[in-house]
Amino acid sequence: MKTSRFIVSIACLIAFCLFASTSGLAEEIAITPYQASYKLYKSGMQVAKSSLSLEQSGRFWRWRLSSRPRGVYKLFSDKKPYSETTFSLLDNQYRIHHILLADEGDDERYESARFNWNSRQLDIQRKGKRRIENLPDQVYDFHTIHLLIARMMKDGTQQMKFNFYLKGKVLDAKLAWAGKTMLEINDLKIEVSVFHQTIDGQKTNSKYYYGPDSRLLPLKIENINSKGKTTVMILKQVAWL
């Protein structure tokens, strides 16, 4: 792996291809590590800056996301949420091994989920309690959903049902291709594909925006609650590692 980093413009990002032409999910997706920064908005106001990275460590890959308040918003919130998902190739599929959620400003938000694919068990620690659940065949989360969307884009799949880990539970979820739209990033307009996610029993739904060849790097993520209020992450810059 190269140790030097270089910053690419969004135009170069769109031209960069993350996909090989071989068959099978694990073979199709040639993962390239990166570090990206985002602007985080709530109800149209920028409240924080976020960092998203995808890095390799031996046979494991790890997505990390962290956010810190900015400007006057620092006066109203000391929350610094952090999440990471570790996954690897197992049985010719990418499998989650560990999910960790934490917050420097709130010790009660610590959450850990360990996936044992040999015993098909999920070890969950959340809100000071621990329990063991049975694992279904495949599970995705907020980070590894990019792998699923990449496959959908490759195959031209319009809709898919899948298992999604959220708040200590494995829930039924659905992804649907929502068409294309123009997205402006750093004064550059890009045609992007939009995917809409809904989760059974949850009032918040999400939209993911990807350029034609940036499918493991979301250009924008939008969460919309039942009252129509939005939380938006939009890409600022990316460094390929």
Paired sense of beta strands 93-103 and 111-116, if any: antiparallel
CB 123 within 8 A of CB 132: yes
**pLDDT tens, residue by residue, 150-196:** 999 988 999 999 999 999 999 999 999 999 999 998 889 999 999 99
Task: Find the range with the poorest average confidence among 23-27, 53-57, 106-110.
Answer: 23-27
Q: How far from 31 is each of 14, 57, 62, 238, CA to CA, in Å?
A: 15, 13, 11, 15
CB 85 within 8 A of CB 96: yes
Secondary structure (3-state) at 11: helix
Residue 58 has pLDDT above 60, yes or no: yes
Question: Rounded mean pLDDT of the chain?
Answer: 86
End-to-end CA distance of the chain: 8
Residue 22 has pLDDT above 50, yes or no: no
Sign of CA dihedral 61, 63, 64, 70: positive
pLDDT of residue 67: 94
